[in-house]
Amino acid sequence: MLLQELSNLDGVSGREDEVRSYIYRKASALADDVYFDAMGSLIAVKGRDKRGPAVMMAAHMDEVGLMVTSIDKSGLLKIDTIGSIDHRVLVSKTVRVGKDKVPGVIGAKPIHLQEPDEQKKPLKAKSLYVDIGAKDKDDAEKVVSRGDVAAFDTKAGVFGQGCFKGKALDDRAGCSVLLRLLEMDFDLPVYFAFTTQEEIGARGARTAAYSIKPSLALVFEGTSAGDVADAKEHKQSTKLGKGPAITFMDRSVVVNRPLFTRLIEVAESEGIPHQLRQMTTGGTDAGPISLSRTGVPAGVISVPCRYIHSPVSVLNLTDFENTVKLASAVLRSIATRGLPSQ
């Protein structure tokens, strides 16, 4: 299962190598051409010589994680976060550090050693450390270095009623959608961009869009689902099981209205369950792509995921399949009806 394999790979922002190699193996068998840009994004081109507008389909390979900032005398690794992580989810989780995936545990001062006011506050990453079981600093430095990154040590898998759990579903879900689309044929040139460093500022997408020069772009994401506990209805944004979530606006983009309308039209005419992403916070690769060169209409379609940016998130596999369906139907619609017009 693509999603499972991708979720189990490590690719903290800036160190996407493992994910990129996996995607390269899959994509090179399916695309006309695969190339990498200087920022490390992988671009797989399919149907380059076909007539019709060039469409960019983007998903980011990177995930949130940790970076080792120093190693103390006792061999414990001081850490900082890469990308936005709720620091409260960190303590007592297991991680894999560096290229060699050295096993580690995120530790903290035990409660009886904490000052009374420390007990009242959530533990910040700066007061946490990764314990790799080293004897001392010299011992630790044999296997890790400052600047190494750590990813959550989570095994992905299917569970419950058609659900899937794993780390980095934001955005391995999007990467899986793109790989599935690569297996299909469309009557227009499609540029599949697997981008880097989205979690720290949508950086890879900027340079990828500049080289691709697309006429239209669609970004595939794992987005936050808030259908949990006692969250108020109007603050839930998306819900599991209600289909792919279509964005009308987020912090990085106001989705081109004709494109937004086309996405809804296609979902409705094909009978694909869908929902709107009912909040405007958070940014995606669609931001920098839409501002590339003279501007690109860019939309976002997301698989709703609970608990994103944490060691384990949850999605609904039917939502995932419906996202693939919607994406392929949109590409067919652009091939037959052309670009959505202003």
Partner 1 sequence: MKDLVKRLTSISSPSGFEDEIREAIKSEVKDYCDEIRVDALGNLIAVRRGTGPKIQFAAHMDEIGMIATDIDEKGFVRFSNVGGVSPHRLFGQRVRFTNGVVGTIGMEKLDDIKELNLDKLFIDIGATSRESAQELISIGDCATYLHGFDDLGQRIVAKAMDDRIGCAVLIEAMRRTEQCQSEVYCTFTVQEEVGLRGAATSAFGIDPDLGIAIDVTGTGDTPESRRMAVSLGKGTAIKVKDQSVIAHPKVKQLLVDLAERNGVPYQLEVLTAGGTDSGAIHLTRDGVRSGVISIPSRYIHCPSEMVDMIDVEASVKLVSLVMSADISEALQ
211 lies in the binding site for partner 1 (CB under 8 A)? no
* Cβ at position 113, least distance to partner 1 in Å: 36
* Cβ at position 338, least distance to partner 1 in Å: 15
Cβ distance 284 to 300 under 8 Å? yes
Cα separation, 77 vs 144, whole angstroms: 9
Structure tokens at 241: 């099981």
235 lies in the binding site for partner 1 (CB under 8 A)? yes
Nearer to partner 1 by Cβ, of 73 and 235: the residue is 235
Nearer to partner 1 by Cβ, of 194 and 260: the residue is 260
Q: Taking contact as CB under 8 A, which single stretch among the options 193-201, 249-257, 304-312, 314-322 is the one that binds partner 1?
A: 249-257
Total chain residues near partner 1 (CB under 8 A): 24
Which one of 16, 63, 198, 199 is the catalytic residue?
A: 198
Structure tokens at 36: 């990498």
Residue 334, φ and ψ in degrees, nearest 5: -70, -35
Cβ distance 263 to 300 under 8 Å? no
Residues between 253 and 312 that touch partner 1 (CB under 8 A): 254-257, 260, 276, 278-281, 290-297
Residue 192's contacts (CB-CB under 8 Å, 6 or more residues apart) are 27, 31, 43, 44, 45, 46, 57, 58, 178, 181, 182
Nearer to partner 1 by Cβ, of 68 and 279: the residue is 279
Q: Taking contact as CB under 8 A, which single stretch among the options 4-12, 29-37, 110-118, 250-258 is the one that binds partner 1?
A: 250-258
* Cβ at position 168, least distance to partner 1 in Å: 27
Nearer to partner 1 by Cβ, of 163 and 276: the residue is 276
Q: How many CA atoms, within 13 angstroms, populate the side-chain half-sphere of residue 264?
A: 12
Nearer to partner 1 by Cβ, of 4 and 278: the residue is 278
- Is 265 catalytic? The answer is no
Cα separation, 165 vs 151, whole angstroms: 16
* Cβ at position 62, least distance to partner 1 in Å: 23
229 lies in the binding site for partner 1 (CB under 8 A)? no
Cα separation, 266 vs 268, whole angstroms: 5
Cβ distance 293 to 211 under 8 Å? no
* Diameter over CA atoms, the chain: 69
Q: Which of 306, 333, 334 is nearest to 319 (CA)?
A: 306
Catalytic residues: 198
Q: Which residues form the interface with partner 1 (CB under 8 A)? A: 233-235, 248-249, 254-257, 260, 276, 278-281, 290-297, 342
